[in-house]
Amino acid sequence: MDQLTSLLNQLNGVVWGPPMLVILGAVGVYLSFGLRFLPWRRIPYAFRLLVSSESGARGEIPPFQALMTALSATIGTGNIAGVATAIALGGPGAVFYMWLIALVGMATKYAEAVCAVHFRETDNSGQYVGGPMYYLKNGVGERFPRLGKGLAVSFAIFGAIAAFGIGNGTQIHSMADVLSTDFQVPKMVTGAVVAILVGFVVLGGVSRIGNIAGKLVPVMVVLYIGGAVTVIAINASAVPAAFALIISSAFNPAAAAGGFAGAAVAAAIRFGVARGVFSNESGLGSAAIAHGAARTNSPVRQGHIAMLGTFIDTIVICTLTALCIITSGAWMSGENGAPLTALAFGSSFSGGNYVVTIALAVFAFTTIIGWSYYGERCWQYLLGEGSVVIYRVLWVIAVFSFSSVKIDFIWTLSDTLNGLMAVPNLIGLIILGPLVFRLTREYNQESN
């Protein structure tokens, strides 16, 4: 087992190493240029689409619920622990590179949703299903049949297995751990209660997942943002200096200060990009599965809505977390991960650390239900819709089981497979890029 773990760690280092991060960024730049930076220019328009209706639209859930389902899977530990880790290891300059990868990642997320809706199918029960599996098979496969089919199957295998780790095991384990530490709730109790709640949601299918996500995600986002804004307001005088530090540290080594050991520019780039991708999942293709079920007739319309996921996750929420950590001075404490964010909140106002604890717990829960749908659709693609109930039952059992066991090996395996999901997805986006550009031009001409 030790040898297998060591081999897996080496593979993980390659999968999430500099080449992958460069490719993720390069594909985002390619799509941004091809779209003439549409995602940056049309953010207000995208928000307007969220509250507008589309007559005669086909799909399973409203576009807003599709976005909330996608956000339920992306807004989580990456926004709290991931940002803190990036700053602790890469310095404040890492935040700058999180912004950059998010800005180009908006184009990637846009293209994923456009392809997901354009190439989606209906299953035997008449439900719309979409995502990388389908645009790889139907889109790439139209030009390169064997390549498209192989990429689709590869993505589905990686996604179905990875979901149990990154979307299940790591989430329930983190939730059980923080509730045990801060509120003395036994881990088995957390596992049992959450398994029951997850079972109620997951066994109801995408409509129930979308309905719960549509209610819970906005509430949890507002509450967390409220806590973060409170911390920033208390430390308002330090905000200008914080932005200056982020910019300067992005191009100059961050000097050691307090418990912070210092960081080179290379570390800022590496950890900023890596944690940014981990948080918003642009390029991994996962969110496209949720958007493929959206009630819409326009791939481009849903693409606009999808890109808001990256904007909200990283440009808004991750930035607020970073400002809390930097303005409070907690980044120089030597802490790392979620404890660093909790320190930033707790040192700014009484009980602030509990805001982080509760947010982590709620974020973990919504990530579990969001990723259950991703994994389920990958499983369905491989084994057929009749086997979906098996996946759902296994998912609920895993929630209970992972709450009180060590998951180091599971985490590394799922993290590696999660990274591998990006490989077939990025190949598909490069090939389908010209189609995305054409569909966008046609939509714009019809809208004008």
336-343 average pLDDT score: 87
Predicted confidence at residue 309, as pLDDT, reads 94
pLDDT at 448 over 70: no
Pairing mode, strands 128-129 and 121-122: antiparallel
What value does the mean pLDDT take over residues 334-351? 89
Check residue 1 and give its pLDDT: 60
- What average pLDDT does range 124-138 have in this prediction? 93
Q: Residue 348 — φ and ψ, nearest 5°?
A: -95, -40
Q: Rounded distance, CA 431 to CA 411, Å?
A: 31
**Mean pLDDT for the stretch of residues 113-122:** 96
Query: Model's pTM, two decimal places?
Result: 0.93
Buried b (16+ CB within 10 A) or exposed e, 21-59: bebbbebbebbbebbeebbeebbeebeebeeeebeeeeb
Percent of the chain with pLDDT over 70: 98
> Is 159:286 a contact under the CB 8 Å cutoff?
yes
The better pLDDT of the pair 22, 405 is held by 22
What pLDDT is stored for residue 167 in this prediction?
87
Into how many domains does the chain fold?
Answer: 1
- Express each pLDDT in 176-221 by its tens digit: 888 888 888 899 999 999 999 999 998 888 788 888 888 888 888 8
Judged by average pLDDT, the poorest of 22-36, 139-153, 196-210, 431-445 is 196-210
Q: What pLDDT digit, counting tens, does each position of 343-374 carry?
A: 999 999 998 889 998 888 888 899 999 999 99
> pLDDT category, 116, cuts 50, 70, 90?
very high
- Give the CATH number, domain containing residue 308: 1.20.1740
Q: Which pLDDT band, with edges at 50, 70 and 90, does 411 fall under?
A: low
Q: Which pLDDT does position 39 carry in this prediction?
A: 94
pLDDT of residue 76: 77
Provide the domain limits for residue 361. Answer: 2-447
Cα dist from 274 to 15, 98, 294, whole Å: 11, 8, 29
DSSP string, 9-42: HHHHHHHTSHHHHHHHHHHHHHHHHHTTTHHHH-
Q: Single out the residue of 80, 115, 83 nearest to residue 99, CA to CA.
A: 83
Q: What is the rounded distance in angstroms from the CA atom of residue 227 to the CA atom of residue 225?
A: 5
Question: CA angle, 230 as apex, 353 and 358 as ends, to 5°?
Answer: 35
| Res 291: pLDDT | 94
How high is the pLDDT of residue 73?
Answer: 83
The pLDDT score that the predictor gives to residue 25 is 93
Look at residue 336 in the predicted model and tell me its pLDDT: 85
More confident residue, 207 or 447: 207
- Residues pairing with 263 in the sheet: 254
- Confidence label for 261 from pLDDT (cuts 50, 70 and 90): confident
Q: Average pLDDT, whole number, for the chain?
A: 90
pLDDT for the residue numbered 228: 95
Separation CA 167–CA 368 (nearest Å): 5
Q: What is the pLDDT of residue 126?
A: 86
Q: Mean pLDDT across the stretch 430-435?
A: 97
Inter-axis angle of helices 63-74 and 205-234, nearest 10 = 60
Q: pLDDT at position 415, please?
A: 73
pLDDT at 3 over 90: no
Lowest-confidence segment of 50-64, 123-137, 271-285, 383-397 by average pLDDT:
50-64
Per-residue model confidence as pLDDT tens digits over 274-320: 888 878 888 999 999 999 999 999 999 999 999 999 999 999 999 99
The 8-class DSSP code of residue 440 comes to H
Structure-derived torsion over alpha carbons of residues 302, 304, 307, 311, reported in degrees to the nearest 10: -140
Cβ-based neighbour number of residue 262 at 10 Å: 11
